[in-house]
Amino acid sequence: MLEVEALEAGYGSIKVLHKISLRVERGQSVCLIGANGAGKSTLLRSLAGLLRPSAGRILIEGKEIANASASARLDYGITLVPEGRRVFAPMTVRENLEMGAYRRLWPRRDRGVAADMDMVFDLFPRLRERQSQTAGLLSGGEQQMLAIGRALMSKPRLMLLDEPSMGLAPKVVQEIFATIRRLNAEGMSILLAEQNANMALKSAAWGYVIAEGEIVRTAESASLASDPSVRAAYLGL
């Protein structure tokens, strides 16, 4: 579904990514693990269209999209759940979800939006209970649920998740990852960037290890989880 070939990107004169290549097959869950500052967020921002690569190719189902805008990438079925959640704090839960469906609501209303909002509320019952509450008053876990729900409202085929466990209590992390696994089981293609390598490897079929902007190891997640160098560097074992 997604193919990335020799991608390079950075900020001004600072190059962060160095010839990154990876794949996500249709319906596959893939994780990207690495230390803070390794380039995970830069890669996801490049895939989502928030950062223009300086070289390389990004293909979605064979179509080159490296120069497509972030909004255009929604039409290709790509959505990003950003690091730090970044909900619209002054807006209600329902308004945040409607913003996720913006391209489906304006200028012409998609009749499926209401059904998809019910789907999000079924997935995250706490959001239904708090749908009239401003997002800034939600707990960190609830905001992460809202960020995922907002992304789902665009009807994505590929979901990019950037550090979904950041700043959350262990119990909430378990809930969030259970939801990620459920979405994948229902057919969603997922690329997950995560410092919590243990949870990431348990939730993905395939994994990539990134260090200093380069892919240094790739294998099935079970193989990475049993690799002594990966266990020592990322699993604390």
Those residues of the chain that have pLDDT short of 70 are 104-110, 236-237
Q: How far apart are CA 127 and CA 129, in angstroms?
A: 5
Structure tokens at 97: 């979800």
**DSSP conformation class of 124:** -
Q: Please list the residues that pair with 160 across neighbouring strands.
A: 80, 191
pLDDT (tens digit per residue) in 4-26: 999 999 999 999 999 999 999 99
Which two tokens mark 230? 């990966």
State the pLDDT at residue 237: 46
- Show the domains of the chain with their CATH numbers: 2-88+155-234 (3.40.50.300)
Q: Is the dihedral of CA 170, 155, 2, 13 positive or negative?
A: negative
Q: In what order do the strands lie in the sheet with 55-60?
A: 14-24, 2-11, 55-60, 63-64
Percent helix, strand, coil in the chain (nearest 5)?
40, 25, 35
User: What's the pLDDT at 112?
Assistant: 78
pLDDT in the model for residue 119:
94
DSSP state of 167: T
pLDDT in tens, 198-229: 899 999 999 999 999 999 999 999 999 998 88
User: Are 77 and 69 a contacting pair, CB within 8 Å?
Assistant: no
What is the Cα 27 distance to its own chain's centre? 14
- What's the pLDDT score for residue 108? 60
